[in-house]
A and B are shown apart, each in its own frame.
Chain A
Amino acid sequence: MLELLWMIPFLPFAGFVILALFGHRIGDRMTAMIGAGSVGVSMVIAFVVGYNFLLSPPAGHSYTQALWTWMRIGSFSSGVSFYLDALSLIMVLVVTFVGFLIHLYSVEFMKEEQGYSRFFAYMNLFVGSMLTLVMADNLLLLYLGWEGVGLCSYLLIGFWYKDPANGRAAIKAFVVTRVGDASLAVSLFLLFTNLGTLNIQEIMGLASQRWTIGSGMAAAAAALLLGGAVGKSAQLPLQTWLPDAMAGPTPVSALIHAATMVTAGVYLIARTHVLFTLAPVVQTTVAVIGTATLLLASISALTQRDIKRVLAYSTISQIGYMFLALGVGAWSAAIFHFMTHAFFKALLFLGAGTVIMGLHNEHDMYKMGGLRKQLPIAFWSFLIGSASLSALPLVTAGFYSKDLILWQVWASDRGSILLWAGGLAGAFLTSVYTFRMLFLTFAGNATSQVARKPGPLMKIPLFTLAILSLIAGLVDIPNNLGNLPTFSEFLHSALPPAPMSHANPMIEGKLQFITSLLALIGIMFAYSIFVHSPQHTGRPEEIKRSPIAAAVHCFLFQGWNFDLLYDKFIVQPFVRVARFNKGDFIDFIYKGIAFVNRSFNRALSFTQSGKVRWYAAGLAIGAVILIGIAELL
């Protein structure tokens, strides 16, 4: 049954082709069936393949299906071949499952939009590219999927293209991730020149043979890969595009910018973990970037008004956690958190979509309130999602994954207590901003009536994801609570365990206690500010009373002014140079010809005065000159 592997990405691609060619002719119902159905069947096949893989794992715990040779140039040959091991299986299952649920949701959510078939075509293309990315056997195919998801992200952010602001957001996303893509491409060049192949498994084998730990070449390759990952996963310093990417429809934000595409960077680093192990400096950089990003994004999330922007900053912050885990060598923990994050973040986004749709596209949380009675399903899904995001102890999936990360940051050889403290502070901030969002949206008095309530196609995904956000963590129960690390052990066939040479398991319980306590304190803090004393809700009108507070608020609101920084130091000089170069000297030659022509024309047009006498005089002058020439010669 593993031979069905190729159908998993093929079906969404086929769905894309059909919808792109015939979408406008086959009507909405058929479009929805093809669009959601292709991903649905793909999901079923993924489950079948996964079941087969678990029951009777192939030799070496990996299965390669080579389809055809893409290119063969000299000694370089690259093929379209898919590689299935524990890591890519988890990714495939999450992508297809969450993807299918979100497709189902958007059948109803996007029902009244123009461009229905266009939406599903792009979404199918996205799912196909993402599956190519995670199942790619060599880095070139991975890069193809990488570019594909980047393209779909651009197309879907700018889905409502008639508003130029959406186009600008899409371009910003594309350009910023392009910087990362360039870095990734250079790393591909580096790896190929030094190791002679782009096949991932071969690279990892050759690298560990040829390069010693701490070698410059490994560090360079790993650093460039990190550059690519940082761009796609919206980490420091390329995180500026993700909040603006919320201009796209909510299902897009849920699927692409929360659950799947932004985790491609995490996948990339996990996939090429050998290179990072060989370059400890770079790996520590990964951890530092993760920590800095998670703190920065959490603080910014505290000041946002738009509900989707809070979720965007939250995504940046949670991916920071994943990077932190990768940086200390906790590969499986990062993937575990990726899985739980996909569930609860998609749940939160879909719930936010319900709220937005219900209030006629209202995004500002300060204009919401008291929706608890009117949108119960949104309230409960938000509550469960927020609880999972804040890692409330024992009952939520987020607890298990986040705690695993924090424990391994503390205990790993490459971890440090500073990083752990950063992660802890992030956990506190996470619960504060998450429950701020919840209270502002659902508590208090209702300010407006709900116009459109969600139907069954929207309720099923919410329900499913809510359940998963509660129980998905139970696949990896830590040591002191029952010791059932099935997930990590499953992944150990693909990813090595984190190096924990002198870890004291007793401390794990204490760390969990501290984390949970902080999360609960955060909830109470948010409650006291936003529910108990509404006059101190931190509304912008009150903040502006103090100029210092207003300045700080503004700084944080704009994402620590990274946009301003980039604009001032990169964009403006570039634009200036481009403008200056517009009048370069080659242009000058062509412009000079035109200028000479025009000035001659202007001069000669004076001779055309329209007066007969003038022309007669011209005749006479001509005659005089000609006779003179004829005589003198």
Chain B
Amino acid sequence: MNEVYYISATVALISTLMVITRLNAIHALLYFIVSLFSVAIIFFILGAPFVAALEVIIYAGAIMVLFVFVIMMLNLGPEAIEQEKQLFRPEAWVGPGILSFVLFLEFIYVIRNYGRHASGMAVIGPKQVGIVLFGPYLLGVELASLLLLVGLIGAYHLGRRRRNSAPQKGGKQ
């Protein structure tokens, strides 16, 4: 079991690294989908098949597809890649890299201090998740649905194209 874990962990890391260093947005997106897949495998190993499936279906299947649609809609073309190359300067990575590295070290320090625990391998299936979800976490479900509604309305309103290109002369429109 552990080997599978380590392999998928490595794949996840490498593909995430690829995501943040690509010039072409579509390439980055596809790399991210790979990363999502490997994380889904890790979920499976950890005994959470439900969220593994959800990760693939919703995250990789819906959210990323939405990203792809929008990027396609923008119709960027090769000039965008040229522009991206200009915006990209290797010196810019130093600061944030150090920052994140320090953050990561702090993570490790914290985790180390809290002792070692073996990870349980019990499988927690969808049925159990459902019972807990609609039991104590019912309010959260309702809030999540409200949130999605809000997001829907917001996205619709913000996504509208307004015809305000030229100033109107004369009377009110």
Any A–B CB pair closer than 8 Å:
yes
Min distance, Cβ A583 to any Cβ of chain B, angstroms: 44
CB contacts (< 8 Å) of B109 on chain A: these are: 631
- A594-633 vs B, CB cutoff 8 Å, 1 = contact: the mask equals 0000000000000000000000010011011001100100
* Contact, CB under 8 Å: A617 / B96: yes
Which residues of chain A from 502 to 549 have a CB within 8 Å of any chain B CB?
A: none
Choose from B99, B102, B106 the contact partner of A617 (Cβ within 8 Å): B99
* Contact, CB under 8 Å: A620 / B99: yes
Q: In this complex, what residue of B is CB-closest to A620?
A: B99
Min distance, Cβ A632 to any Cβ of chain B, angstroms: 10
* Contact, CB under 8 Å: B106 / A631: yes
Given A631-B109, A631-B110, A623:B103 Cβ within 8 A:
yes
Count contacts between A and B, CB distance < 8 Å.
20
* Contact, CB under 8 Å: B102 / A624: yes
Which residues of chain A from 565 to 617 have a CB within 8 Å of any chain B CB?
A: 617
Choose from A620, A627, A628 the contact partner of B100 (Cβ within 8 Å): A620
* Contact, CB under 8 Å: B110 / A624: no
Which residues of chain B from 95 to 120 have a CB within 8 Å of any chain A CB?
A: 95-96, 99-100, 102-103, 106, 109-110
CB contacts (< 8 Å) of B99 on chain A: these are: 617, 620-621, 624
Which residues of chain B from 1 to 57 have a CB within 8 Å of any chain A CB?
A: none
* Contact, CB under 8 Å: B106 / A627: yes
* Contact, CB under 8 Å: B96 / A624: no
Which residues of chain A from 251 to 283 have a CB within 8 Å of any chain B CB?
A: none
CB contacts (< 8 Å) of A623 on chain B: these are: 103
CB contacts (< 8 Å) of B100 on chain A: these are: 620
Min distance, Cβ B64 to any Cβ of chain A, angstroms: 22
CB contacts (< 8 Å) of A621 on chain B: these are: 99
Bound together, the chains give a CA A620 to CA B102 distance in angstroms of: 10
* Contact, CB under 8 Å: B106 / A620: no
Q: In this complex, what residue of B is CB-closest to A616?
A: B96
Q: How many A residues touch B, CB cutoff 8 Å? A: 8
Bound together, the chains give a CA A82 to CA B85 distance in angstroms of: 102
* Contact, CB under 8 Å: A620 / B103: yes
CB contacts (< 8 Å) of B106 on chain A: these are: 624, 627-628, 631
Bound together, the chains give a CA A617 to CA B95 distance in angstroms of: 9
- B69-96 vs A, CB cutoff 8 Å, 1 = contact: the mask equals 0000000000000000000000000011
CB contacts (< 8 Å) of A628 on chain B: these are: 106
* Contact, CB under 8 Å: A627 / B110: yes
Bound together, the chains give a CA A627 to CA B103 distance in angstroms of: 9
CB contacts (< 8 Å) of B103 on chain A: these are: 620, 623-624, 627
Bound together, the chains give a CA A627 to CA B102 distance in angstroms of: 11
Q: In this complex, what residue of A is CB-closest to B99?
A: A620
CB contacts (< 8 Å) of B95 on chain A: these are: 617
Q: In this complex, what residue of B is CB-closest to A628?
A: B106
CB contacts (< 8 Å) of B102 on chain A: these are: 624
Q: In this complex, what residue of A is CB-closest to B95?
A: A617
CB contacts (< 8 Å) of A631 on chain B: these are: 106, 109-110
Min distance, Cβ A625 to any Cβ of chain B, angstroms: 10
Bound together, the chains give a CA A620 to CA B106 distance in angstroms of: 13
Bound together, the chains give a CA A621 to CA B98 distance in angstroms of: 11
CB contacts (< 8 Å) of A620 on chain B: these are: 96, 99-100, 103
Min distance, Cβ A202 to any Cβ of chain B, angstroms: 90
Min distance, Cβ A613 to any Cβ of chain B, angstroms: 9
Bound together, the chains give a CA A631 to CA B95 distance in angstroms of: 23
CB contacts (< 8 Å) of B96 on chain A: these are: 617, 620
Min distance, Cβ A627 to any Cβ of chain B, angstroms: 5
Bound together, the chains give a CA A628 to CA B109 distance in angstroms of: 10
Bound together, the chains give a CA A617 to CA B98 distance in angstroms of: 12
CB contacts (< 8 Å) of A624 on chain B: these are: 99, 102-103, 106
Bound together, the chains give a CA A628 to CA B104 distance in angstroms of: 11
Bound together, the chains give a CA A620 to CA B104 distance in angstroms of: 11
Bound together, the chains give a CA A627 to CA B109 distance in angstroms of: 11
Min distance, Cβ A550 to any Cβ of chain B, angstroms: 70
Min distance, Cβ B84 to any Cβ of chain A, angstroms: 15
Min distance, Cβ B117 to any Cβ of chain A, angstroms: 20
Min distance, Cβ B14 to any Cβ of chain A, angstroms: 23
Bound together, the chains give a CA A325 to CA B100 distance in angstroms of: 102
Bound together, the chains give a CA A631 to CA B35 distance in angstroms of: 31
Q: In this complex, what residue of B is CB-closest to A613?
A: B96
Bound together, the chains give a CA A617 to CA B103 distance in angstroms of: 12
Min distance, Cβ A397 to any Cβ of chain B, angstroms: 87
Bound together, the chains give a CA A631 to CA B111 distance in angstroms of: 11
Most-contacted residue by chain A among B95, B100, B102 (CB, 10 A): B102
Bound together, the chains give a CA A621 to CA B100 distance in angstroms of: 9
- B114-137 vs A, CB cutoff 8 Å, 1 = contact: the mask equals 000000000000000000000000
Q: In this complex, what residue of A is CB-closest to B100?
A: A620
Bound together, the chains give a CA A127 to CA B30 distance in angstroms of: 103
Bound together, the chains give a CA A623 to CA B96 distance in angstroms of: 13
Min distance, Cβ A216 to any Cβ of chain B, angstroms: 86
Bound together, the chains give a CA A617 to CA B99 distance in angstroms of: 9
Min distance, Cβ A527 to any Cβ of chain B, angstroms: 84
Bound together, the chains give a CA A631 to CA B102 distance in angstroms of: 13
Min distance, Cβ A617 to any Cβ of chain B, angstroms: 7
Bound together, the chains give a CA A621 to CA B102 distance in angstroms of: 10
Q: Which residues of A contact B (CB under 8 A)?
A: 617, 620-621, 623-624, 627-628, 631
A-B pairs with beta carbons under 8 Å apart, 20 shown? A617-B95, A617-B96, A617-B99, A620-B96, A620-B99, A620-B100, A620-B103, A621-B99, A623-B103, A624-B99, A624-B102, A624-B103, A624-B106, A627-B103, A627-B106, A627-B110, A628-B106, A631-B106, A631-B109, A631-B110
Query: A623-B103, A624-B102 given. 13 additional CB < 8 A pairs?
Result: A617-B96, A617-B99, A620-B99, A620-B103, A624-B99, A624-B106, A627-B103, A627-B106, A627-B110, A628-B106, A631-B106, A631-B109, A631-B110
- Pick the 8 closest A-B CB pairs, nearest first: A627-B106, A624-B103, A620-B99, A624-B102, A628-B106, A631-B109, A631-B110, A624-B99
Q: Which residues of B contact A (CB under 8 A)?
A: 95-96, 99-100, 102-103, 106, 109-110
